[in-house]
Amino acid sequence: MSANSEKDIPVNIYRPANPFTAKCISNDVLVRPGAVGDTRHVKIDISGGDLRYLEGQSIGVVPPGEDKNGKPNKLRLYSIASTRLGDDLDGKTLSLSVKRLEYQNEAGETIKGVCSNFLTDLKPGEEVKLTGPVGKEMLLPDDPNATIIMIATGTGIAPFRAFLWRMFKEQHPDYQFKGLAWLFFGVPTDTTVLYKPDLEWMAYKHKRHFRYDVAISREQKNANGEKMYIQNRMAEYADELWELLQKPTTHTYMCGLRGMEDGISEFMTKTAAKSDVVWKDFEKQLKKDGRWHVETY
């Protein structure tokens, strides 16, 4: 039985032709002083409509204005960073983790991401048009005793923030997490560990049910004295992770930049080979069983 066979999963309550007009409540800087880049926690008021969502879903954001062809801007999808109850626990808000995209192209011009800059510049009270929600790939299983392995880079932490807040910060009569949640989080510097105080507090308070390992590529070295990437951190627990993957109640989730997939795949291939298993085949079976969830961009 799939994790979500009997769930009421909201999908496309609002469509691009008729989006929901929400309002920004707050826009807080997530990175700490000295960090490269600008990443925000944007909280949005979704009261006054029918919008609802589940942890692991994404929302469409329609930035105002037109593209270079004079057509209205297309929507961009963002993983939702809050639980279904929202950060205020009243079901009336939705939060996003957004990094401002800004880079120099080959001609030396500054290119700005249309939607990320719109969101990171949002001020309280300003409107934002939303569509969705979408996505069934990243939903949590109903089993409160499951093992949940989460692999995130950067703002890919968003759906896992929702998972962990539901597991450890909220009280639910119908859902008390008693399994193991294990987060591997890859970032360039310590100042870019998003939601760091919360993650550390949960790891301290819920030692039996939450493990948290961070890979800081520019500040830590792996066993070979090279940069510490997320797959290097996972390799330190290779045997334990492999054992967990054999359990039918273990779900693995990966979210972040698409580039992370190669490193993880290489690590998994080596780890599986130690047990004479072909990783690609094993991964296929995990996907078929609904236990390997990937959302990269």
Q: What is the pLDDT of residues 68-95, one digit of tens each?
A: 899 999 999 999 999 999 999 999 999 9
226 is catalytic: no
pLDDT of residue 20 exceeding 90, the answer is yes
pLDDT of residue 4: 47
Given 14, 53, 78, 253, the catalytic residue: 78
Confirm or deny that 5 is annotated as ligand binding: no
Choose which CATH entry (3.20.20.70, 2.40.30.10, 3.30.43.10, 3.40.640.10) describes domain 20-134.
Answer: 2.40.30.10
Return phi, psi of residue 210, to 5°: -140, 125
- Percent of the residues in the chain that have a pLDDT greater than 70, as a whole number: 98
Residue 123 tokens, joined: 């001020």
pLDDT of residue 173: 85
Confirm or deny that 7 is annotated as ligand binding: no
The pLDDT-based confidence of 2 (bands split at 50, 70, 90) is very low
pLDDT of residue 244 exceeding 60, the answer is yes
pLDDT of residue 247 exceeding 80, the answer is yes
pLDDT of residue 5 exceeding 50, the answer is no
Q: In terms of Cα–Cα distance, which of 144, 148, 201, 207 is closest to 173?
A: 144
Cα distance between residue 267 and residue 157, in whole Å: 20
Q: In terms of Cα–Cα distance, which of 123, 156, 160 is closest to 140?
A: 160
Q: In terms of Cα–Cα distance, which of 46, 42, 43 is closest to 19?
A: 46
Confirm or deny that 214 is annotated as ligand binding: no
pLDDT digits (tens, 9 = 90+) for 195-243: 999 999 999 999 999 999 999 999 999 988 999 999 999 999 999 999 9
pLDDT of residue 3 exceeding 80, the answer is no
- Percent of the residues in the chain that have a pLDDT greater than 90, as a whole number: 91
Confirm or deny that 280 is annotated as ligand binding: no
Q: What average pLDDT does the structure give for the chain?
A: 94
pLDDT digits (tens, 9 = 90+) for 258-297: 989 999 999 999 999 999 999 999 999 999 999 999 999 8
Given 24, 95, 255, 283, the catalytic residue: 255
Sheet holding 292-296, edge to edge: 210-216, 180-187, 147-153, 250-256, 292-296
295 is catalytic: yes
297 is catalytic: yes
78 is catalytic: yes
Mean pLDDT across the stretch 27-54? 95
Choose which CATH entry (3.40.50.80, 3.30.70.141, 3.60.15.10, 2.10.109.10) describes domain 147-296.
Answer: 3.40.50.80
pLDDT of residue 21 exceeding 50, the answer is yes
Given 58, 79, 95, 116, the catalytic residue: 79
Sign of CA dihedral 189, 194, 197, 201: negative
Confirm or deny that 227 is annotated as ligand binding: yes
Confirm or deny that 233 is annotated as ligand binding: no
pLDDT of residue 172: 87
Cα distance between residue 62 and residue 74, in whole Å: 6
Of 18-22, 35-39, 202-206, minimum mean pLDDT range: 35-39
- pTM, to two decimals: 0.94
Confirm or deny that 155 is annotated as ligand binding: yes
Mean pLDDT across the stretch 134-146? 95
pLDDT of residue 36: 86
Please, which residues bridge with residue 251 across strands? 148
Dihedral angle, C-alpha 117, 119, 123, 127, nearest 10 °: 120
Every domain of the chain and the residues it spans: 20-134, 147-296
Contact partners, residue 76, CB within 8 Å, separation at least 6? 60, 61, 63, 114, 115, 116
pLDDT of residue 196: 96
79 is catalytic: yes
Return phi, psi of residue 243, to 5°: -60, -45
The pLDDT-based confidence of 113 (bands split at 50, 70, 90) is very high
Residue 170 tokens, joined: 């909220």
Q: Side-chain half-sphere of 106: how many Cα atoms within 13 Å? A: 0
Mean pLDDT across the stretch 104-132? 95
pLDDT of residue 38 exceeding 60, the answer is yes
pLDDT of residue 157: 98
